[in-house]
Structure 1
Amino acid sequence: MTNPHRRNGQQYLYFPQKTGDSVRVMDIGKDKPKEVETIKVGIQPEHLVTNRSKTRLYVMNRGSNSISIIDTTTAPMEVIATVALGAEPYAIAVDPEQSRAFVSCGPMDDGSIKIIDLSAASPVLQNSTPVRGLLFRGLAVSPDSKRLFVAGGPKDDTINDSISVYDITGSAPVLIAAVEGQNESPEFVYVNPAGSFAIASFRQGGINVFDAAATPPVLLSTVGSGEVNGSALSPDGKLLVMGYAEPAGGEGNYAIYNVSAIPLGTGLFFTSTYAPGPMTFSPDGARLYMISGTELVTYDMTMHPPEVKDNVTLTGPAGGITL
């Protein structure tokens, strides 16, 4: 297969059944998304990511304390390796060089960052670095594969809501800094394609933008409020979509921020009948795919505000989404 992301005219979107033991594969290359495959993985799969070339899918199994690695070039797709972690995993990220996967594990008071060597014939756990008191949520690797950004930081009396930044040029992560933010409960973190900004969104409200190249990273801008239920950064790193918790009896509330201009200005706010959830952009940025309960909702991002293009019913509740 020369392009596993587009096989026989198909384009693939993946979501895990977080109350089960499988990953569902959707063909989004046609007019209406359609479920085409089911892949058995571990128990309670939640977070999942693909590598840059889209040849591998990495699935975090919270109930099995493991990572399933799926070859997306085969028909049907199949699990080619399962790596045991020995601790409850929270988030996973793959470096741009596709040689390492980083996983945050464990409860807040006794956790670790684990590195899986993907270059080996059989992927193996390469390193486990204890990190006490880390809030384990989003992970992101810088484009040059030198820094790992973690949504959360050492929990003590002075720094309890932040991003932690690690030097990952050696065999084990080395903490560079834990940078205090201006909001509570960090959930998601992104690094733009240029590696200049690290963007953290917070469950209890707001966006923090940091200078990702500085040591320690510097908080450049903060904006927004409200409980965040999902977010996504566009492939060009310019737009951040935030989905806010649905008010009782109300609609889903959303905001789009231009994160290429610092400080951040007022976002484009819009509402939808669909409650926000895990979301991801299409490779060209023209579509936003979002899990809303048991539905996959497609937004046309070329419209202002975005409009719902399609919605399909899914098999069971989904814990995440990726292309």
Structure 2
Amino acid sequence: MTKSYKRDGQQYLYFSQKTGDSVCVMDIGKNKPKLVETIKVGVQPASLVTNRSKTRLYVINRGSDSVSIVDTTTAPMETVATLSLGAVPYAIAVDPEQTRAFVSCGPMDAGTIKIIDLTVNPPVLVNTTPVRGLLFHGMAVSPDSKRLFVAGGPKDDTINDSLSVYDITASAPVLIATVEGQNESPEFVYVNPTGSYAIASFRQGGINVFDAAATPPVLLSTVGSGEVNGSALSPDGHLLLMGYAEPAGGEGNFAIYDVSSIPPGTGLFFTNAYPPGPMTFSADGARLYMMSGNELVMFDMTMHPPQVTGHVAVTGPAGGITI
């Protein structure tokens, strides 16, 4: 059966050129990834995500305060809608049912969560929920489409929460809880495929694992340290790969944690010549693709430790990467 994200046998990886106005499309169905298209979007594209069926690509345009929606089934791929948000967007998540997209917007002292209705053509902005001091950087929707997890939370002079959780079963998000962690500057958040765990990682180091089904969510474990430059959760939710800021010598430092159980398994630490950047797993979890400066680097994740199997020069730096 041909999957919808394949066209003429191709499989696609997308990365945004954060200093420009385009998204690059790489064919990764062959041994060596190859640039096949460049899609014009907005100014300074950053975060990007595909829907579950891989028929749409959603791109945060931080420099033009908008979201571009790309039809990935056409040849060439084309931007079919651009929605102005009226505020600087930071992170985006699409619910598993493919009916809504959630966007966090700034500025820091008067943030919002915006909801885009994806069931109409063209998609429209249907709700803007004010929040106070959202830190913006990561968002994820639970597998049952009932909860939205946001890395960061309400902030005042003394509190820097690591996770905010919203009930999204109604037309407007309703804050369930903000859970204070043991680290600052949350950057990424993931929910495993069963919806049991939420995992937040931090710019200033560390991983917090929460019971995502509890009300309020409960902090279960904290591991790791170091300044994080990228992270990715495997499709089965078992492995979390963390990339840390390179030392003076320029090597990349990485760690893999088994997050299939709590507390997470002991990290596997390894180094290579490529400083870490935005990264994503392949659909089967056997490979990892990472942007390192102006190179796309491929890892074999079936090896212990993972080994670099190739690299391709690209136009960077990347604001985000996804498959």
Q: Report the TM-score, using the length of structure 2 for normalisation.
A: 0.98
The alignment's C-alpha RMSD in Å is: 1.0
Deviations along 1:224-277, one digit per CA (max 9) or x if unpaired, are 000000000000000000000001124110000000121123200000100000
Cα shift at 1:73: 0.4
Taking the aligned partners of 2:309 and 2:22, their CA distance within structure 1 comes to: 27
Q: Could you say which residue in structure 2 is the equivalent of 1:201?
A: 201
Q: Percent identity?
A: 82
Residue 169 of structure 1: CA displacement?
Answer: 0.3
1:249 matched to 2:249: yes
Deviation at 1:141, TM superposition (A): 0.2
Do 1:104 and 1:112's aligned partners in 2 also have CA atoms closer than 8 Å? yes
Matched, 1:70 2:49: no
Counterpart contact for 1:153–1:159, Cα < 8 Å = no
Residue 301 of structure 1 is matched in structure 2 by 301
The 2-side partners of 1:310 and 1:265 are apart by 28
Amino acid at match of 2:39: I
SS class of match (1:70)? strand
In structure 2, give the amino acid aligned to 1:242: M
Post-superposition shift, 1:65?
A: 0.5
2:274 matched to which residue of 1? Answer: 274
What residue is the counterpart of 2:42 in the other structure?
42
Aligned match of 1:283: 283
* Deviation, structure 1 residue 2: 5.4
Could you tell me whether the CA contact under 8 Å between 1:166 and 1:177 is conserved in 2? yes
Residue deviations 1:50-88 (CA, integer Å, cap 9, x gap): 000000000000011000000000000001111110000
Measure the CA separation in 2 of the matches of 1:125 and 1:237. 31
Q: Does 1:265 align with 2:268?
A: no
Q: What runs of 5+ residues in structure 1 fail to find an aligned partner?
A: none
1:264-320 Cα deviation digits (max 9, x unpaired): 232000001000000000000000000000100000000000000110000232111
After the TM superposition, which parts of structure 1 deviate over 6 Å for at least 4 consecutive aligned residues?
Answer: none
In the aligned structure 2, how far is the partner of 1:248 from the partner of 1:270?
16
Q: Which residue of 1 aligns with 2:19?
A: 19
CA distance in 1, matches of 2:307, 2:2: 33
Shift of 1:158: 4.3
Residues in 1 aligned to 2:250 and 2:74: alpha-carbon distance in whole angstroms: 44
**Which residue number in structure 1 is paired with residue 216 of structure 2?**
216
Larger mean CA deviation between 149-158 and 185-194 belongs to 149-158
Matches within 5 A, 1:44-193: 44-193=44-193
The superposition leaves residues 82-121 of structure 1 with CA deviations (integer Å, 9 ceiling, x where unpaired) of 1110000000000000000000001211110000000012
Secondary structure, counterpart of 2:150 in structure 1: strand
- 2:230 alignment partner AA: G
Distance (whole Å) between structure 2 residues aligned to residue 100 and residue 74 of structure 1: 22
Q: Distance in 1 between matches of 2:316 and 2:135?
A: 28
Code of the aligned partner of 1:297: V
